[in-house]
Amino acid sequence: MQTTAESIREVGRPAPAIELSLVVPVFNEEESVGPLIDRICTAMGDFTAPWELILIDDGSTDATLVNARKSIERQGLALKIVELQRNFGQTAAMQAGIDAASGRLIATMDGDLQNDPKDIPAMVAELERRGLDLLVGWRKNRQDGLFLRKIPSWCANYLIGRITGVKLHDYGCSLKIYRSAIIKQVKLMGEMHRFIPAWVAGVVPSSRIGEMVVTHHARQHGVSKYGISRTFRVILDLLSVMFFMRYKARPGHFFGSLGLGLGALSALILAYLFVDKFILGNDIGTRPLLFVGVMLFLSSVQLITTGILSEMLARTYYRDDDSPNYIVRSIIERES
C-alpha cells in the first residue's frame, strides 16, 4: 500500500509538459461533437506523450456546448472547453484555441467529422521527421460537391500559391500541425484561417512548410457553414494577403508608388496642355484632357498623403497592438 508520504509526493509532483494541444472550433455541431470526442480519444489512444483537447464553442445556438460538457470528466481525457461570448467566426475561434493551448505542438481540425483524427499521430511523426514548422493536410480524395466546393477550391489554391509563393495542394484543409512557438507569432484576423501557411511563411522559410495526404469524410450531420459566396470572400482576402505579405511593414511604399505614378502621368498631361496653350495658342479650357490631368494630380496627392498616414498607423500597430479579436465568456476544464 502507498504510504501517506508517498501519496503527498505523488500529488505534489509537477504535471508532465503537454506535447500536443488539439484545437477544434465548433459552431452548431450538436450531433457531431460527441462522436468527435470519441473518435479523437480512440485515435490518440496510442499516443504516448501527454496531450490535451481544446474545444472552442464559437457562440453555438444549439446543444453543442451542453453535449461537449458531458465529456469534461471523462477519464484519460484532458479536455478544455473555451466558450466564446458570441459567434466570432472560425478564424477568431481558432485564434482563441491557439492562445489557450499549452502544448509544444498544436494541431487544428474541423469539428464536423470530415477530418479524421487518426491522421494526427502520423502527421506529428512526419512533422518531426522532416523538421518542419507547419505540416498541412492534403484532402487528395475530397468528399465534397464538385461545382460548389472542389472547383472553387482548386482555383483558390492555384491563385494563393501563385501570389504567396507557398506551393500547396490544399490551403483550405483545417487539419494542420504547428510548432507552438511559430504559430503563436502569427495573429489571425478576419477570415484569414485559409491563408495560415502564407502567414507562417512570413516568419519562417517556406521550405519549413510541408503537406501530407490525409483522409477526408463526407459530412454526416448538420449543414456546411460555407456556400458559393465564400469564393468572393476568398478573392478579397487574397488581395489583403498579397498586400500584407508585401507591404505590411511599409504600406507607404504601396500607396506612394501609386501616387507617384499618377503624379508623373498628370505632369505629362499638364505639360502637354501647357505647351498647347501658351506656345501653340490653342484653347484648352473645354478639353476633357485638362480635367483628367487635374484629377490625376489630386489623386496623386491623396495617395501620397494616404501612404504617410498608413506608415504612421503601421508604427502604432507594431508598438501597441496586443488585443485579441475575440471575447471569452468562460473556460471549462477538469480540476486537477
Contacts of 258 (CB under 8 A, 6+ apart): 303
Write the DSSP string, 45-57: TT--S-EEEEEEE
Taking the CA atoms of the chain, what radius of gyration do you get in angstroms?
26
CB-CB contact of 240 with 188 (8 Å)? no
pLDDT of residue 184: 92
Instruction: Please give the full DSSP string across 240-273, using - where no structure is assigned.
Output: HHHHHHHHSS-HHHHHHHHHHHHHHHHHHHHHHH
The pLDDT of residue 9 is 36
CA distances (Å), 215 to each of 137, 173, 188, 279, 286, in order? Answer: 9, 11, 26, 75, 68
Q: What is the pLDDT of residues 226-266, one digit of tens each?
A: 555 556 666 777 777 777 777 777 788 888 899 999 999 99
Residue 140: what pLDDT? 85
pTM: 0.74
- Euclidean distance between CA atoms 170 and 146, whole angstroms: 15
- In the 8-state DSSP scheme, what is residue 222? S
d(CA 212, CA 177): 10
Query: Which sign does the torsion angle of CA 153, 217, 66, 21 carry?
Result: negative
DSSP assignments along 159-211, one per residue: HHHHHH----S-TT---EEEEHHHHTTS---TTGGGGHHHHHTTTS-GGGEEE
Pick the CATH number of 18-247 from 3.10.20.30, 2.30.30.170, 2.60.120.650, 3.90.550.10: 3.90.550.10
CA 64 vs CA 67, 113, 145, 239: distances in Å: 5, 14, 26, 35
- Nearest Cα neighbor of 305 from 261, 264, 252, 263 is 252
Contact 53, 109 (CB under 8 A): no
The phi and psi torsions of 279 (rounded to 5 degrees) equal -105, -45
Decide: helix, strand or coil at residue 137: strand
Alpha carbon distance 194, 217 (integer Å): 19
pLDDT at residue 250, as a whole number:
78
What phi and psi values does residue 324 have, to the nearest 5 degrees? -75, 165
**Which regions of the chain are under pLDDT 70?**
1-16, 143-152, 190-191, 219-234, 317-323, 325-327, 335-336
Count of all residues that appear for the chain in the document: 336
